[in-house]
Structure 1
Amino acid sequence: MSRSDEQIAALVRGDSVHKSVYTDPDLFALEMQRIYGRVWIYVGHESQVPNPGDTHTTRIGDQDVVMVRAADKQVHVLYNRCPHKGAKLVAEGDHNVGKFFRCPYHAWTFKLDGQHLAAPMKLGFEGTCFDPKHPDFSMRQLARVENYRGFVFANQSAEGPGLKDFLGGVISSIDNLCDRSPSGEVEVAGGVFRVLQPSNWKVFYENLHDTMHARVTHESSFMAARDEAKAIGNMPLELHIMDGNGEPYEFWEKLDLCAYDNGHGYMEGIFDPGAADKDPVTRSHFESLKQAYGEERAREILGMNRHNTIIYGSGSPHTVFQQFRVIRPISVDRTLVEIQVFRLKDAPPALFKRALVYANLINSPSSNVMPDDIEVYGRCQDGNLNHGGDWVSMHRYHGTDREMTGGMVSTNGTSELPMRNQFKAWKQFMMSESAFAQAEPAKEPAHAA
């Protein structure tokens, strides 16, 4: 079903959204065209394809794509399709295809940049209009691909802003993750968790900055952590990580929620700024950075107190614990989340161990925390299918947000500013192509706190 711009705009109010944005399959199909078909989406990290012939398969919206390292060491992103019969060329996962792609159906082959290489039994094409140099007979590349400090993004559209302009203020989170390495480089390591969630993809983004849910949804895990700490007489890192969700509302109210154009944002102020002087792992990390960058710069890098950055449409990099939660929509009520863990090159090994601990405790399908979120996401999906109401509230501290360069910042850390900001971007992206090209990012008016 087609939707006019007016019909789409009517689904988003300043303080609420219509429940159909989570449940309507036709809207989901339109999202795949107008959001995932037109904005920059994270494909993967170049460390996942270190050698020529290495491939990493993933999805951009409803499109299967493959990231590949070519013979010239360049990284390409191609649609995962053979132009002969349309067969998917590369099986799911990470592989090395050798010096060229070879279709498992009829053995058509392609160079690592997707160009047609050969087709068996060439005599069968004589006298036809088959031209191996024609683009129709090669694997198709995505319209645009950019590599920012090893993070590979692709865009299915040739139109629109470049990657840096699209990322805006949250590009500093990628910088900070890389700068935490003494050599300025990171790599995916330690495996990747995959979690299938029974909910719409937008729910996960909203929850990343939903500070009101932590001590409610995760009560069982933080109470269990406190009980265990009391029993053993101390609170090791593993328990401390889970205990963090149990902070009182006064703690969450003091945080800053920064919301940028295009739906991006991050949370600031959640970590102890004096950790480098107290925690031995952080202290050794600081010493390694001081040797590489000098003391002032080292303190600046570790002083970026940032949690759950949102790159809208791609996922959530986490600088302190070296993660990237990659969010892939599967259907209107199914979302795949892949959790990548990064090793900081030339950093103390204990940092990577700590990152693995965090991933297992918070992001693992078998953790004590992730299942809490999955349960409530599913309940939101189910609840929005019944007739108990049509609108989803986003009223908290509406009208109090302050303008900043490129976006807004909350006056209270429990504000629903991030959700409102995401749906402003959603509405802009979902406009028809001409409206999208002309649209300017909207900002809420500033009000006194």
Structure 2
Amino acid sequence: MYRDHPERIRALVQEDRVHRDLYLSEELFGLEQEQFFANTWQFMGHASQVPGAGDYVAQEIAGRPLVMVRQADGSIRVLANRCAHKGTQLVSDPCGNTGKFFRCPYHAWTYRLDGSPLAVPIKAGYEGTRMAQCESGQGMAPVRHVAVHRDFVFVRLADEGPAFEDYFGEVLRAIDNMVDRSPQGRLAVAGGVLRNVIQCNWKMYLENINDTVHPLSTHESATRAAQALWAGHAPDEPKPMAMEQILPFGAGYEFFDQMGARVLPHGHSVLGTRFSIHSGYAQVPEYEAAMREAHGDERAAEILQRSPQNAVLFPSLSVKGSPQAIRVIRPLAADRTLVEAWAFRAEGAPELLAQRSMNYNRLVFSPMSVVAHDDVHLFESIQRGLRAPGNEWVSLHRGHRSGEFGGDQPQQAQDTNGTNELLMRNQFRAWAQFMTLHMEAAA
């Protein structure tokens, strides 16, 4: 139905609504794996996960098993996680250290850390064959397009596509802001990774990151409980960390609308350009002093005053500069998504900041949190509800204005209010663009 028909795919994304097939169709998900996720830059991992030579992180992106590995010279490479012989995955653990080389558990073929072939058993048996000239003799296939920005590692699987800087552009400042919050300009993953598999399409989760209208109703029970516990305390009284992080979810529609947002080319966005639910965290005087010493008064103030609610590096990464946390979206099927929540430690900053980051992830993104279970219930309800008869479309009408993307002209950055579904429409517009980027020749 959709293969070799890019015009049918683009027709699923209209100016102010999208078709339910984007969430339900297994065929479309297969094409996403083949086209969309290969054409866009995907988040692979963070350099602090592989501090020493031979350290690796295994990850599946767009259905392809990959391994990120630290080289002896300190650089990072991303390789196909498969033996060139029979295809066995060379590492089966999600992370670890492979030593000075990779060794296949099946027939003991070995490869250097850069993927080049090292040795094969019964070498004489290959003399006079074509093995050395074919792919099997070349070693582990490298991912050709790898970019490392401030220790954040990204890959593009397609040979053709936008360059890293051209693709992300202005939204990379969100990563810069988070890294610059370290007086030493360096982050490290802290406290492990929280993982949650949700029975829904990945786009539902990505939309929700930019949805500021749902917290008041979806998370009403959590915020009411927090408000009841905090009742009777003076407004300026220092709050426990959990209260500081939960109470802002109950802010009214006006708060979320006025926080502001910015949409950027290629589906990226920043929510909370004026302020956010993270803007009211308690100050840490010794940390601010360390930041002024590291960056100077003006630059330190600029870094610390910027606390967007979410910056989306479309399609796989959402960044919170404060509280120094990220979410990574790993699509598994049309109706199944893995969400990873990572906390970071800012090197040279007080331990309180790392505790704030880890506490936020546990409180808000953990499968057992008082917030995430509300969202998960609704995402899975949507996945089922979309199969109901009578309406095949999903509304994105809020704040829509005809021609808001300038027709066929290249999209420019736009500032808007915080409750405008323009941020979601921007994501789906980019989805249609990169889904069909290399499909025209086959049409």
* TM-score, normalised with respect to structure 2: 0.93
Compared with structure 1, are the counterparts of its residues 37 and 216 closer, same or farther at alpha carbon in structure 2 (3 Å cutoff)?
Answer: same
Alignment of 1:71-82 (within 5 A): 71-82=72-83
Query: Conserved in 2, the CA contact under 8 Å of 1:110 and 1:138?
Result: yes
Instruction: Measure how far apart 1:294 and its partner are.
Output: 1.1
Residues 1:236 and 2:240 aligned together: yes
Hey, what does 2:364 align to over in structure 1?
362
Residues 1:407 and 2:413 aligned together: yes
Question: Matched residues in 2 for 1:55 and 1:385: separation?
Answer: 41
Instruction: Measure how far apart 1:331 and its partner are.
Output: 0.4
Hey, what does 2:326 align to over in structure 1?
324
Hey, what does 1:69 align to over in structure 2?
70
Can you list the C-alpha shifts for 1:61-99, whole angstroms capped at 9, x where unaligned?
A: 211111000112110011111111111111131100000
Residues 1:254 and 2:254 aligned together: no
Secondary structure, aligned partner of 2:231: helix
Can you list the C-alpha shifts for 1:187-224, whole angstroms capped at 9, x where unaligned?
A: 11211101101110111110001011011111111111
Instruction: Measure how far apart 1:57 and its partner are.
Output: 1.0
Question: Matched residues in 1 for 2:319 and 2:39: separation?
Answer: 21
Alignment of 1:40-439 (within 5 A): 40-131=41-132, 136-230=137-231, 235-268=239-272, 269-271=274-276, 279-281=282-284, 283-399=285-401, 406-410=412-416, 412-433=417-438, 435=440
Question: Matched residues in 2 for 1:253 and 1:375: separation?
Answer: 25
Query: Conserved in 2, the CA contact under 8 Å of 1:252 and 1:413?
Result: yes
Compared with structure 1, are the counterparts of its residues 271 and 395 closer, same or farther at alpha carbon in structure 2 (3 Å cutoff)?
Answer: closer
Bigger mean CA deviation after superposition, 45-54 or 123-132: 123-132
Instruction: Measure how far apart 1:157 and its partner are.
Output: 1.9
Query: Conserved in 1, the CA contact under 8 Å of 2:259 and 2:276?
Result: no
Question: What is the aligned length?
Answer: 432
Identity among equivalent pairs (%): 40
Compared with structure 1, are the counterparts of its residues 159 and 136 closer, same or farther at alpha carbon in structure 2 (3 Å cutoff)?
Answer: farther
Question: Matched residues in 1 for 2:387 and 2:233: separation?
Answer: 46
Query: Conserved in 2, the CA contact under 8 Å of 1:44 and 1:153?
Result: yes
Instruction: Measure how far apart 1:406 and its partner are.
Output: 3.4
Query: Conserved in 2, the CA contact under 8 Å of 1:257 and 1:417?
Result: no
Instruction: Measure how far apart 1:435 and its partner are.
Output: 4.7
Instruction: Measure how far apart 1:159 and its partner are.
Output: 1.8
Query: Conserved in 2, the CA contact under 8 Å of 1:225 and 1:240?
Result: no
Amino acid in the other structure paired with 1:334: R
Query: Conserved in 1, the CA contact under 8 Å of 2:39 and 2:437?
Result: no
Query: Conserved in 1, the CA contact under 8 Å of 2:223 and 2:247?
Result: yes
Instruction: Measure how far apart 1:134 and its partner are.
Output: 5.2
Query: Conserved in 2, the CA contact under 8 Å of 1:402 and 1:408?
Result: no
Question: Matched residues in 1 for 2:149 and 2:136: separation?
Answer: 28
Secondary structure, aligned partner of 1:433: coil
Compared with structure 1, are the counterparts of its residues 136 and 32 closer, same or farther at alpha carbon in structure 2 (3 Å cutoff)?
Answer: farther
Amino acid in the other structure paired with 2:294: A
Amino acid in the other structure paired with 1:303: Q
Question: Matched residues in 1 for 2:204 and 2:277: separation?
Answer: 28
Can you list the C-alpha shifts for 1:268-324, whole angstroms capped at 9, x where unaligned?
A: 23348985xx8242x332111001111111101111131211111222011111111
Can you list the C-alpha shifts for 1:109-158, whole angstroms capped at 9, x where unaligned?
A: 01111111111111221232121785654111112111111111111123
Question: Matched residues in 2 for 1:88 and 1:292: separation?
Answer: 44
Secondary structure, aligned partner of 1:299: helix
Query: Conserved in 1, the CA contact under 8 Å of 2:16 and 2:425?
Result: yes
Question: Matched residues in 2 for 1:273 and 1:11: separation?
Answer: 36
Question: Matched residues in 1 for 2:278 and 2:115: separation?
Answer: 48
- Unaligned ranges ≥5, structure 2: none
Question: Matched residues in 1 for 2:149 and 2:299: separation?
Answer: 21
Can you list the C-alpha shifts for 1:29-77, whole angstroms capped at 9, x where unaligned?
A: 1111221111111100111001000000112121111100011211001
Instruction: Measure how far apart 1:168 and its partner are.
Output: 1.3
Compared with structure 1, are the counterparts of its residues 431 and 128 closer, same or farther at alpha carbon in structure 2 (3 Å cutoff)?
Answer: same
Question: Matched residues in 2 for 1:266 and 1:84: separation?
Answer: 45
Hey, what does 2:13 align to over in structure 1?
12
Amino acid in the other structure paired with 1:45: H
Question: Matched residues in 1 for 2:75 and 2:162: separation?
Answer: 23
Secondary structure, aligned partner of 2:370: coil
Query: Conserved in 2, the CA contact under 8 Å of 1:66 and 1:77?
Result: yes
Compared with structure 1, are the counterparts of its residues 414 and 273 closer, same or farther at alpha carbon in structure 2 (3 Å cutoff)?
Answer: closer
Amino acid in the other structure paired with 1:431: T
Compared with structure 1, are the counterparts of its residues 142 and 77 closer, same or farther at alpha carbon in structure 2 (3 Å cutoff)?
Answer: same
Compared with structure 1, are the counterparts of its residues 272 and 65 closer, same or farther at alpha carbon in structure 2 (3 Å cutoff)?
Answer: closer
Instruction: Measure how far apart 1:163 and its partner are.
Output: 1.1
